[in-house]
Amino acid sequence: MNAPLPPRLAGLAQIARNLSWSWHRDARALYRGIDERLWHAVKHNPLRFLREVSAERLEAAAGDQRVVDRYAEIMRWSRHEQTTQGTWFAKAWPELRGKTIAYFCAEFGLHASVPIYSGGLGILAGDHCKAASDLGVPLVGVGILYRNGYFDQGINADGRQQDTDERYDISLTPITPLTGPGGVPYLATVPCFGRDVRIRAWRLDVGRVPIYLLDTDIEENHADDRPLLSKLYAGGPALRLRQEWLLGVGGVRVLRALDLQPSAWHANEGHAAFMLVERVREFVAAGVPYDEAVSRVRGSSSFTTHTPVPAGHDMFGQAQVAECSGPVWEEMGITREQFFEMGHHPVVDSGTFHMTAAAIRLSQRVNGVSRRHGVVTRELWTSLWPGRAVDEVPIGHVTNGVHLATWMANQVMHIFDEYLGANWGNQLDDPKMWDKIMDADDATLWHAHVNLKGVLLNLIREEARRAFVGRSLEALQIVGAGVMLDPNILTIGFARRFATYKRASLIFRDPDRLHALLTNAAAPVQIVFAGKAHPADNPGKDILQQVYQYTRDPRFEGRVAFVEDYDMHLSHLLVQGVDLWMNLPKVPMEASGTSGMKAALNGVPQLGTIDGWWEEGYDGTNGWAIGEAGVVDDDEVTADRLYTLLETEVVPRFYARDEHALPREWITTMKRAIREAGMHFTAHRMVRDYARDFYVPSILGGTPDDPPTG
């Protein structure tokens, strides 16, 4: 039960209801300072914290002047956050005051306590919203409230992933239900497979950016329709189609019900393509001829594609889509054939509606998420512009970035405070500011890192202990969970979705060579793995199982660990606490990759294949790279180069210590990693790119159209 809040701290509940607390260190420190043990026990969820904290603790905090001062400071920025005054966007485009930009995405990863994301795409969308809030870019998000989250991962004794529903209590998240006119619980209605589905919306505040989350679980809906939006990426194509239809069409209608009339629209990944279709329908319903409706929708829309992997691009049978949508083409003043032309893929089977093709046709501004992915995407989609040379295909790129204040450890920020000046948070865009990190004191940076590594390894051991007690795991499983990890050893982190192209098991290709590296008494190495395989991805689960089996192989002496249930919380600890980040995607399958950017911001250099962001990010001094730009690699060759790099460069540099036991050269690599990530790979840089090159031109209009003709 909630203890009553002392009047001097009455705003604690209000602060907890906007996720911006999560990226303000003073706000985090405020809760932590009231009851540190509880703060960690509730996994940094302030609403749960306030439910469980004792009245005594609250009274003690209210009597502590430092706490009260910090609280007053946080209440001040929380008020400041209610306006956009003085923000980058407001200063750059004062004439656009009052405009809004709609940002549609099937998942948002904002904090571990709001489990409506599965991985990279969602976290990128979350970081995008946070940076938009900081910069005053007038974004409103539209997504889905998955009441059963993604899934919780457990691994059985054979190393097979077991998926269980991820249950969470919405009342312990800052998500609030909205009601329609007259108090009805829904805001919009969407026809779907011959029935009217009513859509309820919830609001989630992310600083200045509201995200509207759609939900169909209300009594007014048919029993079969109520769970349609309850699980993320679950079920087969039939459910996916329904979810995407409801997101796109329902999302637009919910915005209208809230009286929002965005001037620019962004479909983040093809899942949201029906948003564009619905807007064409709206224009036609308002009397605009179809062709002009399409060109108006194009002019105000942006589309970002996130992967060259075919499974990442949804397509649905035309008959299915027609059943789902009903004869919506009649409302659009076109024939059924014309309707399906929108989602026609010029090369792949013509009996389908291809979500990416539709999104490209209906958006004037289209981009990939790194320079390399821009090239790959133009190659993939030349067929939409027949007769054009690949480099004339009008698809660009905006390289992804990560939200610094979300991903950088407090300990690293303290170093910034000391060496970059107290105001560094406001100068993130100044390259000269980032140069100063090279002057930071080596010992200070190193000790901060060693500290973070200790936090990670402690947590891993404690989790293993808990699993031993709670689930009676066998000794071998406990070893595999990481109890034998040693804080003095070079620690490699590999955490990501277990998609086959990410090649989690590549480092085991030559077990003898790996064995020699791990167990070298003078310079040993250990590896920590984490990651979920998509519930339907059996090849991914096979790789996970292989890796899991290696963790229990006595030959590797307890130096390979797998930590279960990778989420944003674990991700934070890993990117801040390992020594080296390893990333081995098969070229050219990794569109960007963002975990390596998070690691780099914390002084954890990356060793990776030249793909995605690493082609731009690797400068010869800030980590290690395998392969050459644009050259497709082969597992055998890549594994060989990986071992050679580890043997001849990485391990020797890590263990070369001076008389103060400091690895000077390694620390220089750490600083170079921070500098490069800070200069070029933050979400602030990314959102400024989108605002300047996509959103503002969309709002102002007037750019010549260049539609696909294929």
Ligand X SMILES: *Cc1c(COP(=O)(O)O)cnc(C)c1O
Q: Can you give the binding site for ligand X, defined by CB under 6 A?
A: 119-120, 123, 496, 566-568, 571, 593-596, 598
- Residue 687 has which token pair? 């959102």
Provide the minimum distance between the beta carbon of 527 and ligand X in the complex, in angstroms, as a whole number: 16
What ranges in 500-601 are assigned the alpha helix state H?
511-519, 538-551, 568-577, 595-601
Nearer to ligand X, 111 or 253 (CB): 111
Nearer to ligand X, 401 or 593 (CB): 593
Provide the minimum distance between the beta carbon of 598 and ligand X in the complex, in angstroms, as a whole number: 6
Provide the minimum distance between the beta carbon of 20 and ligand X in the complex, in angstroms, as a whole number: 19
Provide the minimum distance between the beta carbon of 311 and ligand X in the complex, in angstroms, as a whole number: 15
d(CA 174, CA 370): 33
Nearer to ligand X, 35 or 616 (CB): 616
Beta strand 195-206 pairing with 175-177: antiparallel
Nearer to ligand X, 293 or 547 (CB): 547
Which among 77, 95, 84 has a CA at the least distance from the CA of 138? 84
DSSP state of 565: S
CB 396 within 8 A of CB 313: no
Provide the minimum distance between the beta carbon of 115 and ligand X in the complex, in angstroms, as a whole number: 11
Sign (positive or negative) of CA dihedral 471, 169, 104, 616: negative
Nearer to ligand X, 299 or 493 (CB): 493
Provide the minimum distance between the beta carbon of 544 and ligand X in the complex, in angstroms, as a whole number: 14
Provide the minimum distance between the beta carbon of 612 and ligand X in the complex, in angstroms, as a whole number: 8
Provide the minimum distance between the beta carbon of 426 and ligand X in the complex, in angstroms, as a whole number: 25
Provide the minimum distance between the beta carbon of 24 and ligand X in the complex, in angstroms, as a whole number: 19
d(CA 297, CA 183): 32
The label of the residue with tokens 């209590």 reads 169
Which among 265, 284, 270 has a CA at the least distance from the CA of 358? 270
Nearer to ligand X, 503 or 513 (CB): 503
Nearer to ligand X, 202 or 566 (CB): 566
Q: What share of the chain is helix, strand, coil (3-state, %, to 5)?
A: 50, 15, 35
Nearer to ligand X, 316 or 407 (CB): 407
Nearer to ligand X, 567 or 616 (CB): 567
Nearer to ligand X, 393 or 504 (CB): 504
Provide the minimum distance between the beta carbon of 401 and ligand X in the complex, in angstroms, as a whole number: 12
Which among 545, 549, 569, 571 has a CA at the least distance from the CA of 560? 549
Nearer to ligand X, 197 or 575 (CB): 575
Provide the minimum distance between the beta carbon of 116 and ligand X in the complex, in angstroms, as a whole number: 13
Provide the minimum distance between the beta carbon of 49 and ligand X in the complex, in angstroms, as a whole number: 22
Nearer to ligand X, 445 or 568 (CB): 568
DSSP secondary structure of 183-225: G-S-SEEEEETTEEEEEEEEEEEETTEEEEEEE--STTS-TTT
The torsion defined by the Cα of 467, 471, 474 and 479, in degrees rounded to 10, comes to -10
d(CA 379, CA 292): 29
The torsion defined by the Cα of 378, 384, 385 and 391, in degrees rounded to 10, comes to 0
Which among 352, 129, 327, 142 has a CA at the least distance from the CA of 249? 142
Q: What kind and span of H or E run contains 280? A: helix 274-285
Sign (positive or negative) of CA dihedral 381, 387, 391, 393: negative
d(CA 341, CA 343): 5
d(CA 127, CA 683): 6
- Residue 602 has which token pair? 């914390």
